[in-house]
């Protein structure tokens, strides 16, 4: 989507605020012994209260309102009977639509105390996203996002999952530009333009390089090689003054 009018930006900010509030409320409600289905139910109730519709359910018939991925699961985890436990790494990804506008956000959370290295991975994952967002703006190269994130990851000794990319969003959950790498690339000449709406969502890892499906279902993705992975995601708008982040709670 390319925003050309203030009412479009207002509509995007509204759904952005809703998905951000939903994700933060779900994270605050997490506790050991809760199933991921129960956690998803909290998200569903919050979205319904705002009149918003789950984007993965409506777009892809995903069997849940939100994606909840625990520990070895790194993305697209299906809410179910899995019980959360102290020390778990939980990724919550919330995307929804309202009045024709879509927004997408996600973050990884530690449930209670975890190993210092995992806590550091979470902090650095959020920083990697922020570094990518700093590259967003009118006439800037799309490849600058992944190149900047890649330089940060390499300096800190991390790897990046290289087949889960950022993407355009706004009038649909996934739209052009459909593949925005959050890892270093060469030869991508595409540039951002004023009003372009996209996500920035690096998957930072301590060894993982690819997302692969498992034997259990057609949705849940795992790291190959097996390693801890965190994801942080905002929906942003490229402008002449840089990025506007619309997935902000409030």
Write out the binding residues for a divalent metal cation: 93, 104, 167, 201, 233
Q: How far apart are CA 14 and CA 114, in angstroms?
A: 34
Q: Would you list which residues are annotated within the binding site?
A: 76, 93, 104, 167, 174, 201, 233
- In 3D, which of 90, 117, 97, 98 has the Cα closest to residue 29? 90
Length of the chain: 250
Q: For residue 67, give Cα distances in angstroms to 55, 74, 79, 90.
A: 11, 10, 7, 10
End-to-end CA distance of the chain: 24
- In 3D, which of 220, 202, 110, 112 has the Cα closest to residue 158? 202
- Residue 187, sorted as left (phi over 0), alpha (psi -120 to 50) or beta, turns out to be left
User: 210 phi and psi, to 5 degrees?
Assistant: -140, 150
Q: Would you list which residues are annotated within the binding site for substrate?
A: 76, 174
- Residue 187's SS3 state is coil
């Amino acid at each position: 989507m390319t925003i050309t009018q203030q009412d479009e930006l207002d509509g995007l900010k509204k759904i952005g605020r809703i998905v951000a509030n939903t994700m933060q409320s779900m994270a605050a409600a997490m506790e050991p012994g809760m199933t991921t289905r129960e956690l998803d139910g909290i998200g569903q109730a919050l979205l319904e209260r705002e009149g918003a519709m789950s984007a993965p359910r409506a777009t892809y018939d995903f069997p849940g309102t939100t994606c909840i991925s625990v520990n070895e699961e790194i993305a697209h985890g299906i809410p179910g009977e899995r019980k959360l436990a102290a020390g778990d790494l939980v990724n919550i990804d919330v995307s929804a639509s309202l009045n024709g506008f879509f927004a997408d956000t996600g973050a990884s959370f530690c449930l209670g105390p975890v190993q210092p290295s995992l806590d550091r991975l979470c902090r650095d994952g959020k920083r990697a996203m922020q570094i990518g967002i700093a590259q967003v703006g009118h006439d800037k190269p799309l490849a600058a996002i992944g190149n900047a994130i890649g330089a940060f990851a390499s300096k800190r000794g991390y790897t990046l999952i290289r087949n889960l990319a950022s993407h355009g969003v706004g009038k649909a959950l996934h739209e052009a530009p459909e593949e925005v790498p959050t890892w270093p690339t060469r030869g991508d000449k595409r540039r951002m333009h004023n009003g372009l709406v996209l996500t920035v969502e690096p998957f930072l890892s301590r060894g993982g390089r690819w997302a692969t499906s498992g034997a259990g279902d057609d949705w849940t993705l795992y790291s190959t090689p097996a390693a801890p992975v965190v994801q942080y995601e905002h929906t942003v708008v490229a402008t002449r003054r840089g990025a506007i982040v619309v997935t902000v709670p409030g």
